[in-house]
């Protein structure tokens, strides 16, 4: 890699002066991205990276896809936002209803955090009950409720919620019930125990990197349906990624509501709540009456974002799109697994072909607490070596796109091999 250029260093100095922590609060601040194309990005210095960050997931068909770019450029000349219904937003809602099993109606907002917060408020309003049951380690945005027991620094007994940030009112703890992910018996027992207090249950059908255990999602669906408690699938990440109809299509389990983001905006700020018309009717002043739930957003249904989403979905409907992404992911997962095994390094590739990472731990990784056993020091060393070899990823995830190529796979596995070799040398030296 080329040493950081004077211009990139200058930008980093400005960032440290004007931005808290020198960044936007997302990934590392030691790189400034200049541009992206397909499955790669370039920093201001000119260094080229195979990109598995993908803007934290939205760029599922790659950066600067020509179909999306052309459509967006044309729309920008016609106006960028209206705060009113527009053709592209209406047609995107129609496409979501056609694709997503639970979606009878759609309401747009601008971020996954907004979508999750509104979905939780919606079910509380629908049932007239205040509590939400979520799962330890589940990420549902940056709202007070979403930041309960996402990554607790101290473990508490279930169902106690632990705030992940200062500034959250203590009262919120009493409004969130926390259950262990993938523990069918405990989850069902807790839902039954708190049934009269629950507005709804929210779950990532695929929690961060952890697949659902056989029967887990079905058990949630059955008990919530029996008790009349709305079930929310947080599909901000998995929507249109695991399958065109999302994780609910992939796993064959239909919730009452879901939230979506990332892919549906095609790289622009857009998210959505979708679900049963009976519940979504609370957003309709005429139908809801006194139960009407206000939801306003300056950029909700933004025409540029909606058009980018529509064009992205068109690309994903083309034959072979998902097969390409799955094939890329499987090649990487298999190659990494083989190298770890051959080197005798304690680690396993956890996740799904389009979204995974290596957890440096042995044993069954089935929930937040088991994944937290992973050796963070080893992971940091691997990530640093990957970056030095032109691989860009977050601290804890590879996002795969339909635009990644065989050359990208080869470069990534070569970089991973270098990381394995460096770790092996380190351990031999320590011995």
Q: Domain extents for the chain?
A: 8-36, 66-316, 323-350+360-376
Catalytic residue among 144, 183, 256, 262: 262
Catalytic residue among 234, 256, 367, 408: 234
Cβ count near 76 (within 10 Å): 12
110 and 299 Cβ atoms separated by less than 8 Å: yes
* Separation CA 76–CA 66 (nearest Å): 15
Residue identified by tokens 């056609």 is: 98
Per DSSP, helices labelled H in 201-320 are: 216-227, 246-251, 277-280, 285-288, 303-316
Count of positions (residues) in the chain: 431
389 and 415 Cβ atoms separated by less than 8 Å: yes
Check: pTM over 0.95? Answer yes or no: yes
CATH number of the structural domain 66-316: 3.40.640.10
Does a cis peptide bond (omega within 30 degrees of 0) precede residue 159? yes
Respond yes or no: is residue 30 known to be catalytic. no
> What is the model's pLDDT at position 350?
98
154 SS3 class: coil
Percentage helix, strand, coil, to 5, in the chain? 45, 15, 40
Catalytic residue among 126, 139, 368, 399: 139
14-35 burial by CB neighbour count: b if 16+ within 10 A, else e?
A: ebeeeeeeebeeeeeeebbeee
* Separation CA 394–CA 397 (nearest Å): 6
Stretches where the chain sits below pLDDT 70 are: 431
> What is the model's pLDDT at position 27?
83
> What is the model's pLDDT at position 431?
63
Respond yes or no: is residue 367 known to be catalytic. no
Q: Which residues pair with 359 in a beta bridge?
A: 348
Question: For the chain, what percent of residues have pLDDT higher than 70?
Answer: 100
What is the phi/psi pair of residue 302, to 5°? -50, 130
Respond yes or no: is residue 194 known to be catalytic. no
> What is the model's pLDDT at position 154?
87
> What is the model's pLDDT at position 153?
85
* Separation CA 198–CA 175 (nearest Å): 9
| Six token digits for residue 323 | 């097969």
């Amino acid at each position: 890699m080329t040493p950081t250029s004077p211009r990139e260093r200058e930008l980093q100095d400005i960032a440290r002066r004007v931005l808290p922590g020198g960044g936007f609060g997302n990934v590392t601040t030691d790189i400034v991205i200049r541009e992206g194309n397909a499955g790669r990005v370039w920093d201001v210095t000119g260094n080229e990276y195979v990109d598995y960050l993908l803007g934290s997931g939205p760029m599922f068909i790659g950066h600067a896809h020509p179909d999306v770019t052309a459509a967006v450029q044309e729309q920008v000349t016609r106006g960028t936002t209206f705060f009113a219904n527009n053709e592209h937003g209406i047609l995107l809602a129609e496409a979501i209803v056609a694709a997503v099993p639970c979606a009878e109606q759609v309401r747009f907002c601008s971020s996954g955090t907004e979508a999750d917060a509104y979905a939780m408020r919606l079910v509380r309003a629908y049932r007239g009950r205040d509590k939400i049951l979520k799962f330890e380690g589940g990420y549902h945005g940056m709202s007070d409720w979403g930041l309960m027991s996402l990554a607790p620094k101290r473990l508490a007994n279930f169902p106690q919620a632990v705030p992940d940030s200062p500034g959250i009112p203590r009262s919120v703890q009493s409004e969130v019930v926390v259950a262990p992910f993938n523990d069918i018996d405990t989850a069902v027992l807790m839902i039954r125990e708190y049934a009269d207090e629950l507005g709804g249950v929210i779950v990532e059908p695929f929690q961060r990197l952890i697949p659902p255990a056989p029967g887990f999602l079905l058990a949630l669906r059955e008990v919530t349906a029996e008790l009349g408690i709305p079930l929310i699938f947080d599909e901000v990440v998995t929507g249109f990624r695991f399958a065109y109809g999302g994780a609910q299509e992939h796993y064959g389990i239909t919730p009452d509501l879901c939230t979506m983001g990332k892919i549906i905006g095609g790289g622009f700020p857009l998210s959505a709540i979708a679900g049963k018309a009976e519940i979504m009717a609370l957003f309709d002043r005429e139908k809801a009456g006194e139960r009407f739930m206000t939801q306003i957003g300056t950029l909700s249904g933004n025409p540029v974002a909606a058009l980018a989403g529509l064009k992205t979905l068109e690309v994903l409907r083309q034959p072979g799109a998902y097969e390409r992404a799955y094939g890329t992911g499987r090649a990487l997962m298999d190659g990494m697994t083989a190298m770890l095994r051959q080197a005798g390094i304690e680690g396993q590739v956890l996740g799904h072909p389009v979204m995974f990472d290596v957890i440096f731990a042995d044993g069954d990784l089935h929930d937040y607490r088991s994944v937290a056993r992973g050796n963070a020091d080893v992971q940091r060393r691997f990530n640093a070596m990957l970056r030095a070899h032109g691989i860009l990823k977050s601290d804890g995830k590879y996002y795969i796109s339909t635009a990644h190529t065989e050359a990208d796979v080869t470069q990534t596995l070569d970089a991973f091999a270098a990381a394995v070799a460096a770790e092996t040398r380190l351990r031999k030296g320590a011995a």
